[in-house]
Amino acid sequence: MPEQTDSESRKLLSRLQATLAEAGAGQERLDRITHLIADSMGTEVCSIYLLLNADTLELCATEGLASESVHVTRMRLGEGLVGRVALRVRVINTAHAPAEPGFRYMPETGEECFSSFLGVPIQRLGECLGVLVVQSRQERGFSDDEVYALEVVAMVLAEMTELGAFVGEGEALSARHQSHVVFHGSCAQEGTTEGRVYLHEPRVVVTRPIADDPRAELIRLRAAADQLRVSVDLMLSNAPKSDGEQIEVLEAYRMFANSRGWMRRMEEDITRGLSAEAAVEKEQSTARARMETVPDAYLRERLHDLDDLSNRLLRVLTSQGVDTGVQMPDRPVLVARNIGPAELLDYGRSLKGVVLEEGSVGSHAAIVARALAIPLVINAKRITTEALNGDLILVDGDQGIVHLRPEDRVAAAFRDKLAMQAAAQKRYASIRDKPAKTLCGTNISLHMNAGLMADLPSLPSSGAEGVGLFRTELQFLTRSQVPRRGELAALYARVMDAAGGKRVVFRTLDIGSDKVLPYMKPTDEPNPALGWRAIRVGLDKPGVMRMQLQALLRAANGRSLAIMFPFIAQLDEFTQARDRLLREVEREAALGHRLPRNLEIGAMLETPSLAFAPRHFFELADFISIGGNDLKQFFFAADRENERVRRRYDTLNVSFLTFLEQIVHRCDDTDTPLGFCGEDAGRPLEAMCFAAMGLRSLSMRPASIGPVKSLLRRVNLREMRGLINEARANGAQSVRPAVMDWFRQKG
């Protein structure tokens, strides 16, 4: 056990505790605290600056500076030494402040006579709430113990302010958690919604940051850590041996749980006056702060593990479970740091939207959100620290923007947009049973993309002719082991039943890249999108693909069946996959099972190379479906996951449309049916231009069918084609401006 010294921090904390226990309004308490700190540390000045909004700090209390400057002096993040402490969330300790880079006087405070400066961030879990400063006339550096003492006090302040102890008087804090905050994330599933925040894992609230009896706290900490270790060992022994990734995480948990350094640091914090839970949280804050700066992805992951482990330890100490009994609000929008696919499926369609702090466009959660057709915004930095259960939230999945606690003006504009969308949906319903026939008499067949049994009910109401892409990954991603053949066959049969005789195109397992199965050994690849994925895995490790093909044949049980293979890049991959399927057909026949009445074997064209495949490929394929999401990323060499580059290249870029036209020609040559099933097919303008380039079959999310059909029925493709040709001849980069102009002219 670390030696208990009556350190600066302990003395200061016990005085602080006494002060906090006294009655008083927020401002009075802040004033008493600054007085107490200055007195304890022997400095002339102690000031508390709090964040008024995302980029402005305000002086909220001071001992030693001019009292008139309280609630008057403000500075931007990064401005002066105080602003720099807040911006970098780092301590500044200097004996000669004027010589420090960035130094700036605030004349109204009268601080020019103070030479020494110690500023520490008031932070909670890496989020800066303000700055605590002491200053003195005498040129002196502050000792490590003094710095530590001030940091601990700042942490206690962060807890107290979070608890609302000062809210009401401290203008800065009352502004927090009431103000409108906008998050610019990335769009992972389109759609817009208004709802109320429902936190997936509400944070643990530390109500008692300071403790009187360090011995008792040490006993609590050790008991909780023991309990944690036992639970981690149990999780490890229960984890499936094949699940390398989960085991790796649990091993990291175990390593940290047994780490003497981690325990020692927390024990030291306790002997300096913190309660056990505050000590855990202090360590967690340090890990979070490091997480933001560590460039190495592996190390960042491990710091995440430590963060998760700290959360678990906090929950043991405070008995605050994940389930806090908070009622799910009406129109819930789930807010989380990240979420697994199974957990998201558990919430299911009750959710109106999902906002994640992390995540990626191709993550499992994104795949589920796409299948559930709920708007999803990812990379909404700090939303879990800002959002409170029940807050009003507007999610714009089309733009990747989230408004938390929106101002009335913003909420009203957003509601107008929702109302317009609802009115449009009504209009679309009226053309549901009408064909997508253009003014020039061309019929375009519209299909829906699906990935869950739960998607199928939307087939009749969407007006889709069938399912153009059934992604089969989800059943694999949401289980802890490979699903069994019987289980899959039953599910595929239910999908076909629900489609009621309409065509369903099943795509075989498309994993690898970022879609790693929980029970698959992760391979460390420098460029996963260009790596061992989809059909490449299917052909190299044939067991799972065989089992899936058998399940599909059994599910069809004599009905028509359409299967397509993803990510075919050259002829032999298609011939091999096709041969394997035909071998399974023979095997089924030998076993006396019913064979599909009609079997279509198709390929997804997702790499430019396939467009240049030998003619034989086009003859052999019963149909081809362009996977535009991948094709576009490889055509422009722009990662579909990378927000910085993915919007840079317009789908209506003349080169891309010309490329699509070439694919259309190649398929026309061999009479091979061609479709397009990437997200762009669901965007009306894009869909119209694809049709103008000769595509006759499009597959999209169900909600897009109405808008796409509505536009197609109002255009003449020949006219559009003329417009595109003209833009092409004029050397335009994209045909979008010309098309938009044309629509504007037509009103």
* In the complex, minimum distance from the CB of residue 464 to ligand PEP, in angstroms, rounded to a whole number: 15
* In the complex, minimum distance from the CB of residue 440 to ligand PEP, in angstroms, rounded to a whole number: 28
529 in contact with ligand PEP (CB under 6 A): no
Q: Which residues neighbour 180 within 8 Å (Cβ) at sequence distance 6 or greater? A: 403, 404, 405, 406, 407, 410
Nearer to Mg ion, 371 or 712 (CB): 371
Whether 184 is a known active-site residue: answer no
528 in contact with Mg ion (CB under 5 A): no
SS3 14: helix
* In the complex, minimum distance from the CB of residue 287 to ligand PEP, in angstroms, rounded to a whole number: 34
* Residue 194 binds: one of ligand PEP, Mg ion, none (C-beta under 5 to 8 A by kind): none
Residues 734, 650 contacting (CB under 8 angstroms): yes
627 in contact with Mg ion (CB under 5 A): yes
Interface segment toward ligand PEP; rule CB under 6 A; list 20-28, 299-307, 391-399, 627-635: 627-635
602 in contact with ligand PEP (CB under 6 A): no
* Residue 134 binds: one of Mg ion, ligand PEP, none (C-beta under 5 to 8 A by kind): none
Q: What's the burial of 115, exposed, middle or buried (CB within 10 Å: 0-12/13-18/19+)?
A: middle
Nearer to ligand PEP, 150 or 700 (CB): 700
Question: Quick one: DSSP state of residue 252?
Answer: H
Exactly one of 146, 217, 630, 641 binds Mg ion (CB under 5 A); that residue is 630
* Residue 471 binds: one of Mg ion, ligand PEP, none (C-beta under 5 to 8 A by kind): ligand PEP
Tokens (6 digits) for 544: 């799972």
Whether 616 is a known active-site residue: answer no
Nearer to ligand PEP, 342 or 529 (CB): 529
Residues 136, 104 contacting (CB under 8 angstroms): no
Spatial distance between the Cα atoms of 638 and 245, rounded to a whole number of angstroms: 28
Interface segment toward Mg ion; rule CB under 5 A; list 150-158, 246-254, 516-524, 619-627: 619-627
| Pairing verdict, β 92-94 and 116-124 | antiparallel
* Ramachandran region, residue 110 (left: φ > 0; alpha: ψ -120 to 50; beta: rest): left
Tokens (6 digits) for 633: 């990323």
* In the complex, minimum distance from the CB of residue 511 to Mg ion, in angstroms, rounded to a whole number: 11
| 148 closest CA partner among 27, 241, 254, 286 | 286
At residue 655, what is the residue type? S
Residues 609, 629 contacting (CB under 8 angstroms): no
Counting every residue written for the chain, the total comes to 747
Question: Quick one: DSSP state of residue 613?
Answer: S
Q: Taken in order 327, 333, 338, 341, is the CA torsion positive or negative?
A: positive
Instruction: Tell me how many degrees the CA angle 222-224-226 measures, rounded to the nearest 5.
Output: 70
Nearer to ligand PEP, 432 or 696 (CB): 696
Exactly one of 176, 288, 471, 533 binds ligand PEP (CB under 6 A); that residue is 471
126 in contact with ligand PEP (CB under 6 A): no
Within positions 498 to 517, which residues make up the interface with ligand PEP, using CB under 6 A?
A: 510
Interface segment toward Mg ion; rule CB under 5 A; list 249-257, 341-349, 395-403, 602-610: 602-610
Spatial distance between the Cα atoms of 457 and 497, rounded to a whole number of angstroms: 11
* Residue 677 binds: one of ligand PEP, Mg ion, none (C-beta under 5 to 8 A by kind): ligand PEP
Tokens (6 digits) for 398: 């089309």
Tokens (6 digits) for 480: 């802890």
* Residue 678 binds: one of Mg ion, ligand PEP, none (C-beta under 5 to 8 A by kind): ligand PEP
Tokens (6 digits) for 515: 């879609």
* In the complex, minimum distance from the CB of residue 628 to ligand PEP, in angstroms, rounded to a whole number: 5
Spatial distance between the Cα atoms of 86 and 172, rounded to a whole number of angstroms: 14
Place of tokens 């290249």: 649
Interface segment toward ligand PEP; rule CB under 6 A; list 45-53, 518-526, 626-634, 643-651: 626-634
* In the complex, minimum distance from the CB of residue 630 to ligand PEP, in angstroms, rounded to a whole number: 3
Active-site residue identified among 60, 187, 667, 677: 677
| 738 closest CA partner among 679, 681, 689, 693 | 689
Active-site residue identified among 46, 187, 364, 403: 364
Encoded one letter per residue, x for contact with Mg ion by CB under 5 A and - for no contact, window 29-58 reads ------------------------------
* In the complex, minimum distance from the CB of residue 91 to Mg ion, in angstroms, rounded to a whole number: 48
Question: Quick one: DSSP state of residue 680?
Answer: G
Place of tokens 């039943």: 497
Report residue 726: phi and psi, to 5°.
-65, -45
Q: What's the burial of 535, exposed, middle or buried (CB within 10 Å: 0-12/13-18/19+)?
A: buried
* Residue 386 binds: one of Mg ion, ligand PEP, none (C-beta under 5 to 8 A by kind): none
* In the complex, minimum distance from the CB of residue 562 to ligand PEP, in angstroms, rounded to a whole number: 15
Q: What's the burial of 55, exposed, middle or buried (CB within 10 Å: 0-12/13-18/19+)?
A: middle
Spatial distance between the Cα atoms of 546 and 579, rounded to a whole number of angstroms: 11
* In the complex, minimum distance from the CB of residue 426 to ligand PEP, in angstroms, rounded to a whole number: 29
Q: What's the burial of 212, exposed, middle or buried (CB within 10 Å: 0-12/13-18/19+)?
A: exposed
Nearer to ligand PEP, 354 or 564 (CB): 564
Interface segment toward ligand PEP; rule CB under 6 A; list 115-123, 346-354, 425-433, 623-631: 623-631
630 in contact with ligand PEP (CB under 6 A): yes
For helices 717-729 and 654-670, give the axis angle rounded to 10 degrees: 130
Exactly one of 341, 538, 678, 707 binds ligand PEP (CB under 6 A); that residue is 678
Exactly one of 79, 606, 641, 686 binds ligand PEP (CB under 6 A); that residue is 606
627 in contact with ligand PEP (CB under 6 A): yes
* Residue 335 binds: one of ligand PEP, Mg ion, none (C-beta under 5 to 8 A by kind): none
Q: Which residues are catalytic?
A: 364, 677
Can you give the binding site for Mg ion, defined by CB under 5 A? Answer: 606, 627, 630
Can you give the binding site for ligand PEP, defined by CB under 6 A? Answer: 469, 471, 510, 606, 627-630, 677-678
